[in-house]
Amino acid sequence: EPTETIGVILTIFCLSLSFTHVHYNVHITVDLQIHKTFNNRQNIVKITLSSLKTVQTMVFASSGGNATLPCRFWFEPELSLAREVRIKWSRTSAAGGPEDDVLVAIGNRSRSFGNFRGRVHLRQDSAGDAALIMTELQLNDTGRYRCEVVDGLEDRNSAVHLELRGVVFPYQHPRGRYHLSFVGAQQACEEQDATLATFTQLFQSWKEGLNWCNAGWLADGTVQYPITRPREPCGGHGLGPGVRTYGRRHQHMHRYDVFCFSSSLRGTVYFLQPSQKMNLTEARRTCQEDGAHIAKVGQLYAAWKFRSLDHCDAGWLADGSVRYPITRPRTNCGDSEPGVRSFGFPPPQHKHGVYCYKAEDQCSATSPLDVTKCH
């Protein structure tokens, strides 16, 4: 009797290894050969997804930009006549939980869902191309995307991870260290034009030199912190550099700081100080009178990271903190490393300058005399 050999690839990605508190995701690919017998040779048809051969593809992009998530399939043996299959894209967010539907398509007909409506479509450049085109990327688009191709009773699927490029920054409550629940941490990041950082984003920032001793929430509900220079209050000298982890904590009972993530800046941050320094109320009003808004912490970090904003004067921000960005460390401007310096949350009657933010549409309406504030 004729037989069909179907190649199945199982992806096991739940294994996590820890070396000096640095986590690595390990993916194991197992090839199985399953033999099925048919009485009719015409029943031998197989769908293959090429992206199964590149386990857990990673795609990087920036907020406000576009991304292409690859997915390709073909029939074996090749069909003499084309036929329509059902293609479905779904997503599991960086925080986990149930999958969200992104897009479903049959032939040239498609439908997108929820927050993805109007921002996603299939590329379909050639036969078997099921790549997902995403536009106007948002901070919370980060996650694991699953491409599923269904033909009758046969189906195959593969996964692609989308990560946004940006900057990770530690953030704490105005009352001080360790006052944020998981929900409070989410809200704190959103208020600063950011979102909860993923472990991948924190790990990348650690590799780039982020060194912070206070533990903070991440998007997956774990609490971790990055150390490049081991010291006594931060795990001791006996542990090497790495990302320390407390594991998963109770999202309502436990309190920590948070690591936020901000992507590309769609506007301009600039320092403003009239003839004299201002209290917080005066600082907000000064930005408004200049056709701008007082900058948020995430916007200041993004300007420092992506626009190389460098200013040694401390200024008010929207959350009531006072900070300043340094890309060229120098005398009287803080540490010897680049970064955003913080004076914490001083009383609102204290006098400082202010960092203002103008969005792209505000910049386009700016007079030629003010054009330097939009670059």
DSSP 182-249: HHHHHHHHHHTT-EEPPHHHHHHHHHTT----S-EE-TTSEEEEEESS--GGGT-TTS-SEEEEEEE-
Cβ-proximal residues to 27 (8 Å cutoff; 6+ apart), any chain = 11, 12, 13, 55, 56
Instruction: Indicate the pairing of strand 154-164 with strand 57-61.
Output: parallel
Measured CA to CA, the distance from residue 61 to residue 47 in angstroms comes to 30
pLDDT of 312:
95
79 or 167: whose pLDDT is higher?
167
Cβ distance 142 to 199 under 8 Å?
A: no
Question: Model confidence at 238, in pLDDT bands (50, 70, 90)?
Answer: confident
First to last CA, the chain: 73
Average pLDDT over residues 15-35: 34
Distance of CA 65 to the CA centre of its chain: 13
**Separation between Cα atoms, residue 137 and residue 143, nearest integer Å:** 12
Residues 6+ apart with CB under 8 A from 114: 100, 101
Q: What confidence score (pLDDT) does residue 356 get?
A: 98
Phi-psi region of 99 (alpha: psi -120 to 50; beta: other; left: phi over 0): beta
Domains and CATH numbers, the chain: 8-55 (no CATH), 60-164 (2.60.40.10), 166-263 (3.10.100.10), 267-359 (3.10.100.10)
Between 77 and 270, residue with greater pLDDT: 270
Closest by CA position to 350, among listed 314, 325, 374: 314
Share of the chain above pLDDT 90, in %: 61
Residue 371 has pLDDT above 70, yes or no: no
Alpha carbon of 8 to those of 45, 46, 78: distances in Å? 14, 11, 18
pTM of the model: 0.75
CB within 8 Å of 161: residues ≥ 6 apart: 56, 57, 58, 59, 143, 144, 145, 200
The answer to whether 256 and 233 are in contact (CB under 8 A) is: no
The Cα 350–Cα 364 span in angstroms is 33
Q: Which two tokens stand for residue 53?
A: 């051969």
pLDDT of residue 10: 35
pLDDT digits (tens, 9 = 90+) for 111-155: 999 999 999 999 988 888 999 999 999 988 999 999 999 988 888
- Distances from the Cα of 54 to the Cα of 72, 159, 160, angstroms: 11, 9, 9
Q: What element of type H or E holds 330?
A: none
Nearest to 91 by CA among 9, 151, 159: 159
Across residues 29-36, what is the average pLDDT? 32
pLDDT at 42 over 50: no
